[in-house]
C-alpha cells in the first residue's frame, strides 16, 4: 500500500467527520466541504491503487526475466 492510498483514506475519514458535523449543526457549507473531501480521498485512493497495480505488474515482469 502506497502513501496515496493512506492519505486518501485519511481524507475520506476527515470528510465524513466534516459532513456529519455540518449535518448536526445545520451548516450546509461544512457538509458540502466534507462531501468534497470524501470524493477527493476516493480519487487519491484510486490513484494509489493504480500505482500499486502498475508497480506489481512491473515487479512481476522483472521476476520473469
Q: Please give the pLDDT value at position 1.
A: 76
Domain holding 43, by residue range, is 3-64
Q: What is the mean pLDDT of residues 47-58?
A: 93
Which has the closest alpha carbon to 41: 15, 2, 21, 3?
Answer: 15
The verdict on pTM exceeding 0.85 is no
Residue 29 pLDDT > 70:
yes
Which has the closest alpha carbon to 39: 58, 63, 14?
Answer: 14
**Total domains present in the chain:** 1
Question: Which is more confidently placed, 1 or 27?
Answer: 27
C-alpha–C-alpha distance, residues 41 and 18, integer Å? 13
Specify whether the CB–CB gap between 3 and 49 falls below 8 A. Answer: no
In sequence order, which ranges of 1-65 are alpha helices (DSSP H)? Answer: 3-25, 28-64
Specify whether the CB–CB gap between 38 and 11 falls below 8 A. Answer: yes
Amino acid at each position: 500500500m502506497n502513501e496515496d492510498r493512506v492519505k486518501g483514506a485519511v481524507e475520506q475519514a476527515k470528510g465524513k467527520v466534516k459532513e456529519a458535523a455540518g449535518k448536526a449543526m445545520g451548516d450546509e457549507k461544512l457538509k458540502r466541504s466534507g462531501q468534497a473531501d470524501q470524493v477527493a480521498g476516493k480519487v487519491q485512493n484510486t490513484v494509489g491503487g493504480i500505482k500499486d497495480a502498475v508497480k506489481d505488474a512491473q515487479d512481476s515482469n522483472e521476476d520473469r526475466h
